[in-house]
Structure formats: C-alpha cells, structure tokens
Structure 1
Amino acid sequence: MIKTIEEQILKYKTIIIHRHQRPDPDALGSQIGLKKLIQALDPTKHVYAVGEVEDSLGFLGEMDQIEDDKYNGALVLVLDTANQERISDDRYQLGDKLIKIDHHPPEDQYGDWNWVDTNMSSTSEMIVALIEASSVFEKGFTSEVALPLYAGIVGDTGRFMYNNTTKATHLRTGKLVEAGIDQPKFYSALHRKALKTTRLEGYVLQHFIYHDQGVGEMRLTNDILAQFDLTANESSQLVNVFSSVEGLKAWVFFVEDEDKIRVRLRSKGPIINELAKEYNGGGHPMASGATVYSFEEADQLVKKLKLLSAEFNEKTSR
C-alpha cells in the first residue's frame, strides 16, 4: 500500500489533501506535513490543504481556498478521518482518485485505496513511516515537514503519556527532532491560550462535577460560552484541564453548539469508543467524540459512562 501511495502521489500533477472537521494537531499536522513533503519533492506540483480554519492551530500552516475545478483530474487524500461524514469539505469526491490514510478503527472503508494502521499512534506517525519506507520521499524530508508531523504525534499521544506511544513512536519522533525543529518554540505556540480561554479554564475547574465512580463531567452551554466570548471550537483546548484529578478514570465535556451538543470523551482505562458510537460518534478507545441533541440524552450518556467506569474499577481491583 505504501508503494501504491508513492506511485499515485508521483503520478498526479494536482493533489488535494483533506482531513476531519474540527481539526486537532494530528489532523492538521499530518495534512500540512504531507503537503510540505510533496511540495519539497516537486515544486511544480499543485498541492492544496483544505478544510475549515482552526485559529488555535494556525501556527502549523494555512488552509487553501480553491475552486471546484481544481478537483478535475486531481488525486485526493483524506487523512485522519474514519468516517466520510466527518470529512471537512465535502468536495473530496470530486477528484479522479481517492486515498484514505488513517489510524482509527476501520469503520468506513471509503476511497480507491485504504491505508489504515490502528497500531500507529497517529496519522502523523504514519506519514513519518511513509517517509521511512520510501527513498523518494526521504529526499523531501525537511525541518518544515518535520514540525507539523511532530505536532501531530505530540497531540495524539498526549505528549507521549498515552499507551499508544510505542518504541517505534519514539524512534520516529527522534527523526523529527533530528531534522532541526525548535521544540521550545513549538510548545510555547501549542499551549498558548487567549486570556478569555484562561478565564473559562478557571470556571471549568471550579464547576466540573466529580462522580463517585471516577467520572468527571462538564457542561458548557451557549450562555456560558457567550459569557466568556468563546466558540464551541475554542473550548476544545480545555478538554483535559481537570484530567490530573486523583481517582479520575474517565471524563466528558458537553459543549452546546447551536442545535446540537458536542461530546468530548476521554479515559484513563475504560474503553469509551463503543459508547461514542451509540451517540453518533466514534474514535479511539481512550479518546472519542460524539453528538447528542438534548441534555436529557447527555444524562443517559453520563449514566452509561459511570457504569463503564464502575465495571473498570471492579475489574482492576480484583
């Protein structure tokens, strides 16, 4: 599959790279890293990264605004996106051929070619593996390529704290560091918060609910977001703000967003992606997203999360 991807990228003159909606560091990092890699290999190619803008991650690179006719005869790659419904910019089907590259469980096998590896920490790590396996791609590997890929690996491993961090992950990250990235500058940009976001962080720490089963819960309504002058997207920076609380096994953020409620699920043990699937979502065993449409539905999800945590506690205490 890696050889096929290499052949297709070298073949096409126009390449358009998509990723999932509401991008995180891995989605943007793999997208921008691959774009810069292809451009370094052949500056005559037309390479575009498309999707909505995420201001908090703007330091990784800018999105391209392109017309529909750019898709004529183009190769389209969709990165870090398990389901077609989550692809940012629905024009991904307008190209000549489609390649999916992803590390999530393969729930939706769309595209002409699928490269899915759930053993990888991130899609960004997969792009590093692509570079390692190809003498052609190695020629385009620069510090500009390395930085967004480093960001993606850092983001999806929780700064190498999650159990998806393997020996291979560290070795590949080492290659990115050797390329000459400025780590202090990167972390400063990654963790920079606007004053209003910091104010909301304090509010979350004061008001999140801790349930006896080791479950944390926070609800950010439209009124609360308006009070702090923040959008639902901007609040995503706070999903792990109380993750270090003693005894916490899993937690959930409910963020009201117009006519729906976004759900961000995280865990230190209980498997949560199957629960996310029940509520219009999915993701990793320890980090998933979902959507509910009322706070009554949110109550049901919390009840199930508490059961999962209680079962995990009982199992690990034996």
Structure 2
Amino acid sequence: MLKEIINDILEAKTIVIHRHERPDPDAIGSQLGLKTLILSMDPKKEIYAVGDEEPSLGFLGTMDQIEDEIYSDALVIILDTANQERISDKRYRLGKKVLKIDHHPEEDNYGDSNWVDTSMSSTSEMIVALIEASSIIEKGLNSEVALLLYAGIVGDTGRFLYNNTTKNTLSRAGKLVEKGFDQNHFYSQFHHKEIKIARLEGFVLQHFTFHEREGVGEMRLNKKDLEEFGVTSSESSQLVNIFSSVEGLKSWVFFVEDEEKIRVRLRSKGPIINQLAKKFNGGGHPLASGATVYSWQEADQLLFELKELSKQ
C-alpha cells in the first residue's frame, strides 16, 4: 500500500490535499508538510491544501482557494480523518482518485486506497515514514517541511508525554530536528496564548466538576460563556486538558455549545472511550475522541455512560 501511494504521488501532476474539519496541529502539520514536501521534491507539480482555516494555527500556514475544475484530473489525498463526515471541503469526491492516510482506528473504509496505521502517534509521523520509504520523496525534506511535521507530532503526542510516543516516534522526530528549524521560535508560537484564552482557562479551572466516586471530570461551556470571553467553540478546544493533572482523574469530558449542537471532547487515562464517542456521532482514539450531541439531556446520558466506563 505504501509503495502504491508513493507511485501515485510521483505520477500525479495535480494533487489536492484535504484533512478533517476544525483542524488540530497534526491535521494542519501533516497537510501542509506533505504539500511543501512534494513541491520541494518537484516544483512542477500543482499541489493544493484545502479546508477551513484555524486562526490559532495560522503560524503554520494558510489554505488554498481553488476552483472545482482543478479536481477533474487530480489525485486527492485525505489526511488524519477517520470518516467522510469529518472531511473539510466535500469536493474531494470530484477527484480522479482518492487516497486515505490516517492513524485513527478504522471507522469508514472510504477512498480508492487506504493506508491506516494505528501504531503511529500521528499522521505527521506517517508522512515521515513515507519519506523514509522513498529516496526520491526524501529529497524534498527540508527545514520547512520538518517544522510542519514536527508540529503535528508534538501536537498529537502532547509534547511526547502521551503513551502513543514510541521509540520510532522519537527517532522520526529526531530526523526532523536534524533539519535545523528554529525550535525556540516554534515553541513560542505553539504555546502562544491570547488573553481571552487565559481568562477562559481560569474560568474552566474554577467551574469544572469532578465526580470523585467515578474519577470523571466534566466541563460545560454554553453559548453565553463563549460570548462573554469572546472565544469560539474551536478555540475552546485548547483547554480540553487543562485539569487533566487532577489527582484521581480517570477520564474527562468537555461539552461546548456550538450553534444547534454541542461539541464533545473526550479524554481518558485508561478507560477506552472511542466506542462511547462512536455511539454519540463521533469516534477517535481509545484515549482521545470527539463526539456530537444535540441537547443537554443527551449530554447527561453521555456523562452517565462515561461514569459507568470509568467505574469499570
């Protein structure tokens, strides 16, 4: 499968790269990293990265605005997205061929070719593995590509603190660091925090609920809260782990009201939560998942089931 993907990339004249909506550092890092890698390898190719913008990650780069016609003879690569519903920009269907590259557990076997590897810490690490597998593609690896892929790995490993950090992850991160990008500048940008986020952080720490008997943490942000702090639902995702170090915490959930639905961010230190997320219109990793509910009553039910999981 990896050889097939490499051949498709080398042969394609036009490539459009997608990833999931409301992107995190791995989605943006792998997407822009792959785009920059291919262009560095072969500047004659037409490579585009599309999808919704995420202002907090603007320091990594911006998206391309393209016409539908570009898809007519294009190879479409979709990164870091387990199911079709979460793909940002639905025009991916217009492409000549669709490739899926992802490290999430298989939920939706879409695309003409699939490369899914849950042993990888991130999709960005998978792109490094792709580089390792092709001496031709490896020629495109420079400091700009390295920074983007490093950002993705750092994001999905929690700065190498999560247990998805393997020996191979550290080895591949080391190869990127060898390219000589400015780590100090990267981390200053990566940890940059607007005053509104800092204030919301204090609010969350004061108001989250800790259900001690089950070891479950819970935070609910409604539209009024977001308006008061001038923060979007997407921006609030930066705080999902803010109380993760509380003693006795086994799992936690962030509910964030967004238009006509409620975004759910689930995290765990042991209980497997991705099946619970799938039950509530979502999915993800065993210890880090997302879901969507459509009422606070439904949120109550999800919380109840999370408590049951944590008790077990």
Which bracket does the TM-score occupy, shorter chain normalised?
Answer: over 0.9
Structure 2: which amino acid aligns with 1:124? Answer: S
Structure 1: which amino acid aligns with 2:193? Answer: K
Equivalent position SS for 1:52: coil
State whether structure 2 residue 95 is matched by structure 1 residue 57: no
Report deviation, 1:72. Answer: 1.2
The equivalent residue for 2:282 is 281
Equivalent position SS for 2:233: coil
Structure 1: which amino acid aligns with 2:271? Answer: P
Report deviation, 1:44. Answer: 1.1
Q: State how far apart, in whole Å, the 2-side matches of 1:249 and 1:162 are.
A: 14
Report deviation, 1:214. Answer: 1.1
State whether structure 2 residue 44 is matched by structure 1 residue 44: yes
Structure 2: which amino acid aligns with 1:84? Answer: Q
Equivalent position SS for 1:36: helix
The equivalent residue for 1:210 is 210
Q: Deviations over 1:210-252 (max 9, x none)?
A: 0011111000000000011111111111111111111111110
The equivalent residue for 1:255 is 256
Alignment of structure 1 residues 152-191 onto 2, 5 Å: 152-191=152-191
Q: State how far apart, in whole Å, the 1-side matches of 2:183 and 2:43 are.
A: 27
Equivalent position SS for 1:251: strand
Report deviation, 1:283. Answer: 0.0
Q: Deviations over 1:104-140 (max 9, x none)?
A: 1111111111011111111000000000111111111
Report deviation, 1:261. Answer: 0.1
Q: State how far apart, in whole Å, the 1-side matches of 2:273 and 2:180 are.
A: 37
State whether structure 2 residue 312 is matched by structure 1 residue 297: no
Report deviation, 1:190. Answer: 1.0
Equivalent position SS for 2:230: coil
Alignment of structure 1 residues 4-153 onto 2, 5 Å: 4-153=4-153
Equivalent position SS for 2:99: strand
Q: State how far apart, in whole Å, the 1-side matches of 2:238 and 2:251 are.
A: 17
Q: State how far apart, in whole Å, the 1-side matches of 2:47 and 2:174 are.
A: 27
Equivalent position SS for 2:140: coil
Q: State how far apart, in whole Å, the 2-side matches of 1:255 and 1:181 are.
A: 36
5+ residue gaps, structure 2, are: none
Q: State how far apart, in whole Å, the 2-side matches of 1:99 and 1:36 are.
A: 18
Runs of 4+ deviating beyond 6 Å? none
Q: State how far apart, in whole Å, the 2-side matches of 1:43 and 1:255 are.
A: 42
- TM value normalised by structure 1: 0.97
Q: How many residues align?
A: 311
Report deviation, 1:31. Answer: 0.3
Structure 2: which amino acid aligns with 1:285? Answer: P
The equivalent residue for 1:231 is 232
Equivalent position SS for 1:233: helix
Report deviation, 1:46. Answer: 0.8
Q: State how far apart, in whole Å, the 2-side matches of 1:165 and 1:198 are.
A: 28
Q: State how far apart, in whole Å, the 2-side matches of 1:95 and 1:296 are.
A: 41
Q: State how far apart, in whole Å, the 2-side matches of 1:106 and 1:234 are.
A: 27
The equivalent residue for 2:271 is 270
Q: State how far apart, in whole Å, the 2-side matches of 1:184 and 1:268 are.
A: 30
Q: State how far apart, in whole Å, the 2-side matches of 1:160 and 1:270 are.
A: 21
Q: State how far apart, in whole Å, the 1-side matches of 2:40 and 2:49 are.
A: 15
Report deviation, 1:184. Answer: 1.5
Report deviation, 1:142. Answer: 0.4
Structure 2: which amino acid aligns with 1:215? Answer: V
The equivalent residue for 1:246 is 247
Q: State how far apart, in whole Å, the 1-side matches of 2:280 and 2:87 are.
A: 18
Q: State how far apart, in whole Å, the 1-side matches of 2:72 and 2:275 are.
A: 38
Equivalent position SS for 1:88: coil
Structure 2: which amino acid aligns with 1:228? Answer: F
5+ residue gaps, structure 1, are: 312-318
Q: State how far apart, in whole Å, the 2-side matches of 1:242 and 1:184 are.
A: 26
Q: State how far apart, in whole Å, the 2-side matches of 1:221 and 1:187 are.
A: 31
- TM value normalised by structure 2: 0.99
